[in-house]
Structure formats: structure tokens, C-alpha cells
Structure 1
Amino acid sequence: MLHEQALQTAGATPALAPPPNFTGRWRNQMNSFMDLAITGSSVTGLYNSASSSGGAPVQGVINGVTIGDLIAFTVLWLPSGSITSWTGQLVEEGGVQTIRTLWHLVTNIPDDNEDDKFWMSTWAGADEFVR
């Protein structure tokens, strides 16, 4: 499906409920954690990956947006220059707040290898974050 078709469908969704409070520390299933701050609809913070770079912890700056119970944020991983973006929604089950996300990570493929290896630059997966 084209993005524009998906956006047309999304535009028909009902009005958003009052936003939840995303501020604070969230931890995923890999024991990585992020500390989020919310100002208006802007998301900022730090992401601490417990399993990146051969197992050594790696930290990256978070920039993103939120509206209602939806959130999207991106981390630029330095010095590698890889980028990960997460999009998701906050849900509550049994009194536990969880941000369920899908993510894409992109890495650079050298220009002379792009024709053959371009799709090797993009990884995808899912994360769930709890307080």
C-alpha cells in the first residue's frame, strides 16, 4: 500500500482521547531503556541500548513527536551513523502501561555496493516498552 493511501484511511479514524503521560523511563524486552521528556507534542530524551555494538551499551539522543496515545521517535547512533525510528501506541492491560512499537533501522551501504546490497541496509522489528 502506498503511504498516501494509508494516510487517507488513517484520516478517517475517530478523534483522539486526552494524551497519556509518556514522560519517564521505559524499558524494553532486551533490557534497553529510554528516558523520555514531553514538551507539547515534542519528544526528547536518551536511549540506552543494552545489546548494540557487539554487546557493549550504546547511547543515542531521542527526537520525536506524540499525539494522543501515539508516539514516534528516532535515534541517531554515533559514531556508526545508523538511524533507528520507532512508531507505536500506548496500551494499558491489567494496569500495566506498554508502548507497543514497530521499528526500522537503516545503515549506510557504500555507494559502489548500493546496486547489489541496498536492501541489506534496512532492518525491521518490534519492541514493547514498559515503565
Structure 2
Amino acid sequence: MAEHPHAMLVRKGYEAFTQGDMDTLRGLMAADATHHVPGTGMLSGDFKGQDAIIDMYRRLGEETGGTFRVELRQILVDDRGHAVSLHHMAGDRQGKHLETDGGLVFRIVGDKITDLDECVADLDAVNDFWA
């Protein structure tokens, strides 16, 4: 069975993120896309527009000295414009190590990602890591 187009879009996004290919990531998102990051840390909040989102991704790498990694585990789709990804993330920052599971809820219109809502398994650990 062929992979659903929304799952393919999400998978392509994870591959681009892992490779640091911000041009490809930019092309997968609507110009006014928003990425919602939970928590209270320095990279929490709503990042509106491709430039703000790409800059936040750049800062993830910069703040962790390039150690931040995500490993895609699963993608779920509903054929109504939603996809959910489950992943494992890890990184090191200022003597702290983060290792937890997370996910993204994607809203997809046409062939573009318009909204990303991030969820994490251990919000306290994420908040501490980015404090």
C-alpha cells in the first residue's frame, strides 16, 4: 500500500530537519504557517511565518551545539488535513541532557503545512532543559 500524501509530506519534513535542509522545510510550509511550542523555555511560544519557524529551528541547533536530534517513530493521518507524528528527541545544552518523546500535530491544506502543534512526554524536563 502506498504511503498517504500527508504522511509523505511529514516524513520529507523530518528528513529535511535532520539534514539541516531549511530550504526544503521552507518549501513544505505555507508562508503564514505557525509552529506552537509548549512550555516556558526560551524556545517556547508561537512562531508565525516561515522565517520565524526556520529561525527557531536554527536556534535549536545553535543552542545545543548541533546535538539536538529527532528520530521519527510513527506518522498517523486522517485524510481530512491532519497528520500526527511521534518522535524521540535528544540533545545537550549547558551541561544538561534531554531525552524524551514528543509529537507534532500537523494541519495540512493542499500540499502545505499550515500549523504545527508540538506536544512532549515530559514537559518539566523540556522546561528545565531550555531554562
Task: Return the TM-score normalized by structure 2.
Answer: 0.39
Larger Cα-atom Rg: 1
By relative contact order (CA 8 Å, sep 6+), the higher-ranking structure is: 2
Q: Greater share of helix residues, 1 or 2? A: 2
Q: Greater share of strand residues, 1 or 2? A: 1
